[in-house]
Chain A
Amino acid sequence: MPIETWLTFILVFMILGSIISLEIKDILSSIIAIGVVGLGVSLSFLFLQAPDLAIVQFLFEIFALIILIRAFIKKDYHVEEPRIVNKILIGITVITLCAVFLLSIKLFELLPPFGEPLMKTAQYYIDNGVEQTGAANFVSAIILDYRAYDTLGEITILFTSVLGVFTILRIKSKVKKVTAGDDDEN
């Protein structure tokens, strides 16, 4: 079977999974449906000849599932009461998004067709990568040598977000200590 058929099948499966995960009431089922979508992404990376990306996406999926389940499993979830205004807003949003989709068909015809990339820069990397960097894996050659400054910036973003997580989750304990110290204030 050609690769386009497989990818179409996986993409339809992923669209169905994401619609289910957005519309289902239970939070746990929703998180697990998102896990299915992410594993579909990992599988299509394998079909697209990107084994590094497939492994990283798989790990991301497991970590995201652990974080989301650990964070939300014991929380009470609310049930949305259907209101007329809300339904009208949802209808308007769906119609607008369908219009955007139909208008974008012309736009996607301008792109190079699937399976024939431009590869002007990347062809230089493939031709000269082994002599210049000594890495057999071109993806790691690009990450760590040609585009090392990009990687540095992305690592900065990652550590900033980790710092943000620690700062946000620490606020409560500090406030507790302060209020325990001087109770007369309240």
Chain B
Amino acid sequence: MTIYLLCFALFLVGLYGVLTKRDIVKIILSIGIMGYATNLFLVFVGYKSGAIYPILSEGKCIQPMVDPLPQALVLTSIVIELGTTALLVSLAIKLFQKYSTFDITKIRRLSG
């Protein structure tokens, strides 16, 4: 319960950055923070206390295991997050080449 709330607080810190920052680099980093919080929350939901990692090995007796389903889905989510971060960074580079600033209040002439 406390851990869930702390994870949600981390998400809200990222949301605060997206909503209030004017620097485009800070906005990209805030989106990254929100992604961290979401992945972490999904793995929190699948944790079973006293259980071991979901890998079988020879000579190990059957023990309770943590939920492997959120881990499998979060694994691909992390990789996709890298792709979207690279896409955002390339957009920011193009914006800097055109406007010579990262301030989003000065980037106005989108059509030009």
Contact = CB atoms under 8 A, between A and B. Distances in A.
B46 A18 contact: no
Interface of B: 1-10, 12-17, 19-23, 25-26, 28-30, 32-33, 36, 39-40, 43-57, 65-69, 71-87, 89-94, 96-97, 100-103
A41 B36 CA distance: 7
Contacts of A71: 89-90, 92-93
B26 A138 contact: no
Given A7-B3, A68-B89, A78-B103, A18 B47 contact: no
A60 B44 contact: no
A22 B26 contact: yes
18 contacts: A8-B2, A8-B6, A11-B6, A18-B14, A21-B29, A31-B29, A38-B32, A50-B43, A97-B12, A105-B5, A119-B67, A121-B69, A136-B57, A142-B69, A143-B76, A158-B79, A168-B94, A172-B94
Given A48-B47, A49-B66, A114-B47, A157 B80 contact: yes
Given A117-B67, A161-B84, A34 B33 contact: yes
A78 B101 contact: yes
> What 7 pairs between A and B have smallest CB-CB spacing?
A115-B49, A161-B83, A142-B72, A138-B54, A138-B68, A11-B6, A154-B76
A158 B80 contact: yes
B55 A8 contact: no
Interface in A21-73: 21-22, 27, 30-31, 34, 37-38, 41, 44-45, 48-53, 56-57, 60, 63-64, 67-68, 71-72
Contacts of A27: 23, 25
Nearest to A160: B83
Question: Which of A45, A75, A138 has the largest count of B CB atoms less than 10 A from its CB?
Answer: A138
A143 B79 contact: no
A99 to B, nearest CB: 11
B17 to A, nearest CB: 5
A34 B32 contact: yes
Nearest to A12: B6
Contact of B16 (A57, A97, A126): A97
Contacts of A147: 72-73
B102 A75 contact: yes
Given A22-B16, A50-B66, A63-B82, A137 B54 contact: yes
A34 B47 CA distance: 25
B44 to A, nearest CB: 7
